[in-house]
């Protein structure tokens, strides 16, 4: 009788394991949708166009790029959250959609830490602290000293209210005590034009700022994140002001509840993709760097960035309805 009871108790576990194994063996069984939270042509979309063919090759099913722009990426995120967690819907997210949006949007209908599964980190990028050449500063400390004395306060551009470019400057302000006036623009292009046109004095710019630095239209003072071989001689901002560090990244996510065998398959193929020399070269060609972490490291990074930007948003009083 006891043996019969044990057998009956173990049946549900065995059934679950059997279903999981079957789902892994049969995965993927149809084309995979890769949600991109931006319109065609941006950095995230460019990355999607690089990785989709390689994932198609590795997974044996077509990976279809599905651009879902809107609401700073929240539309694509909600689509991913509501999708069936079977590995046939993936979300290519920038860190801002995961660790910033929950703090600046009052009523998100999902929880990025609970309703999405981190699959793999994919790439990292850089932001430059860049000033108009007319400012008499050559390094971060000179800039902070100059900004502290400036009357009226210097103005800074961002690509939009609540963006990482905005919050990176708010982090610098909070750690140094300087006063700067925020001027948000609708995207990186208009913000850069405003900066080298002299409408504002400073901004954190992405990789698109680099050509303007080389052309002399802007002066780069530091990197927001770690030192990077692509910018020789340019220091990290944290070297002058410890704790002021922003390392933007993009990663692959799936709906919560993804079966472990499917998740493990996706993580393995993502690792193979980033290790492929041709894919890595194509990623670098679009001004991004392959960013490989373990699942534990990626989860820890997400939690750390979530907490850091939560503090910055609260301190700066940033809210978007």
Q: Which CATH number fits domain 20-125+248-316: 3.30.413.10, 2.60.120.380, 3.40.190.150, 3.40.50.720?
A: 3.40.190.150
| Rounded mean pLDDT, 222-236 | 92
The pair of structure tokens assigned to 121 is 């980190």
Q: Which of 97, 119, 82, 126 is nearest to 306 (CA)?
A: 97
| Rounded mean pLDDT, 299-311 | 96
Residue 17 has pLDDT above 70, yes or no: no
- Hey, do 20-125+248-316 and 128-239 end up sharing a CATH topology, with the first three levels equal? yes
Q: Are 192 and 207 a contacting pair, CB within 8 Å? A: no
What is the bridge-based pairing of β-strands 219-223 and 63-67? unpaired
Q: Are 122 and 278 a contacting pair, CB within 8 Å? A: no
Q: What is the predicted pLDDT for the residue at 60? A: 97
Find the radius of gyration of the CA atoms of the chain: 22
For the entire predicted model, the pTM comes to 0.86
Fold topology of 128-239: D-Maltodextrin-Binding Protein; domain 2 (3.40.190)
pLDDT in tens, 272-285: 999 999 999 999 99
Residue 5 has pLDDT above 60, yes or no: no
Q: Considering the chain, what percentage of its residues have pLDDT values greater than 70?
A: 92
Query: Which 3 state secondary structure label does DSSP give 181?
Result: strand
Q: What is the predicted pLDDT for the residue at 321? A: 66
Q: What is the predicted pLDDT for the residue at 305? A: 96
> How distant, in Å, are the alpha carbons of 54, 120, 267, 275 from that of 292?
16, 8, 11, 9
How high does pLDDT run on average in the chain?
A: 91
Burial class (CB in 10 A: 0-12, 13-18, 19+), 194: middle
Q: Which residues contact 221 (CB under 8 A, 6 or more apart)?
A: 128, 129, 130, 131, 137, 138, 139, 140, 143
Residue 207 has pLDDT above 90, yes or no: no
Which residue has tokens 């996510």? 253
Q: Which residues contact 186 (CB under 8 A, 6 or more apart)?
A: 159, 160
pLDDT in tens, 110-138: 999 999 999 999 999 999 999 999 999 99
Q: Where are the domains of the chain?
A: 20-125+248-316, 128-239
Partners of 14 in beta bridges: none
For the chain, counts of helices (H) and of strands (E)? 13, 11
Q: What is the predicted pLDDT for the residue at 14? A: 44
Q: What is the predicted pLDDT for the residue at 1? A: 47
Q: Which of 291, 264, 320 is nearest to 94 (CA)?
A: 291
Peptide bond connecting 112 to the previous residue in cis, omega within 30 degrees of 0:
no
Q: What is the predicted pLDDT for the residue at 2? A: 42
Which of 12-16, 71-75, 258-262 has the lowest average pLDDT? 12-16
Q: Is pLDDT larger for residue 106 or for residue 109?
A: 109
pLDDT in tens, 160-181: 899 999 999 999 999 999 999 9
Q: What is the predicted pLDDT for the residue at 19? A: 44
Q: Which of 106, 135, 195, 133 is nearest to 159 (CA)?
A: 195
Distance, CA of 107 to CA of 267 (rounded, Å): 31
Residue 12 has pLDDT above 70, yes or no: no
| Rounded mean pLDDT, 70-76 | 89
The CA-based angle 83-120-101, given to 5 degrees, is 60
Distance, CA of 124 to CA of 122 (rounded, Å): 7
What is the bridge-based pairing of β-strands 116-124 and 289-290? antiparallel
Q: What is the predicted pLDDT for the residue at 3? A: 47
> How distant, in Å, are the alpha carbons of 88, 102, 136, 215, 222 from that of 147?
50, 31, 11, 25, 16
DSSP structure class, residue 224: S
pLDDT in tens, 237-269: 999 999 999 999 999 999 999 999 999 999 999
Query: Which 3 state secondary structure label does DSSP give 61?
Result: coil
The CA-based angle 51-309-101, given to 5 degrees, is 60
Q: What is the predicted pLDDT for the residue at 100? A: 96
Q: Are 253 and 167 a contacting pair, CB within 8 Å? A: no
Distance, CA of 77 to CA of 284 (rounded, Å): 26
Q: What is the predicted pLDDT for the residue at 10? A: 47
């Amino acid at each position: 009788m006891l043996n019969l009871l044990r057998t009956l108790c173990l049946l549900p576990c065995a059934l679950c394991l059997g279903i999981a194994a079957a789902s892994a063996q049969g995965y993927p069984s149809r084309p995979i949708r890769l949600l991109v939270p931006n319109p065609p042509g941006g950095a995230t979309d460019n990355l999607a166009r690089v990785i989709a063919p390689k994932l198609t090759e590795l997974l044996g099913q077509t990976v279809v790029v599905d651009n879902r722009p809107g609401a700073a990426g929240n539309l694509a995120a909600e689509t991913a959250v509501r999708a069936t967690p079977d590995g046939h819907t993936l979300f290519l997210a920038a860190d801002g959609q995961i660790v910033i949006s929950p703090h600046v949007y009052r009523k998100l209908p999902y929880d990025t830490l609970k309703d999405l599964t981190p699959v793999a980190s994919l790439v990292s990028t850089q932001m430059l602290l860049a000033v108009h050449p007319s400012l008499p500063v050559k390094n971060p400390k000179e800039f902070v000293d100059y900004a502290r004395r400036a009357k009226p306060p210097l103005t800074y551009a961002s690509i939009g209210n609540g963006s990482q470019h905005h919050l990176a400057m708010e982090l610098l302000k909070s750690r140094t005590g300087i006063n700067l006036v925020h001027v948000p623009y609708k995207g990186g292009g208009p913000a850069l034009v405003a900066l080298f046109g002299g409408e504002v004095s400073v901004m954190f710019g992405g990789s698109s700022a680099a050509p303007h630095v080389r052309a002399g239209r802007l002066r780069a003072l530091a990197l927001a994140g770690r030192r990077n071989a692509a910018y020789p001689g340019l220091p990290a901002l944290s070297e002058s002001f410890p704790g002021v560090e922003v390392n933007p990244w993009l990663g692959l996510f799936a709906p919560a509840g993804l079966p472990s065998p499917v998740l493990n398959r996706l993580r393995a193929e993502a690792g193979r993709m980033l290790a492929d020399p041709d894919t890595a070269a194509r990623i670098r060609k679009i001004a991004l760097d392959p960013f490989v972490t373990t699942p534990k490291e990626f989860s820890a990074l997400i939690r750390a960035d979530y907490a850091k930007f939560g503090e910055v948003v609260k301190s700066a009083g940033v809210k978007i309805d």
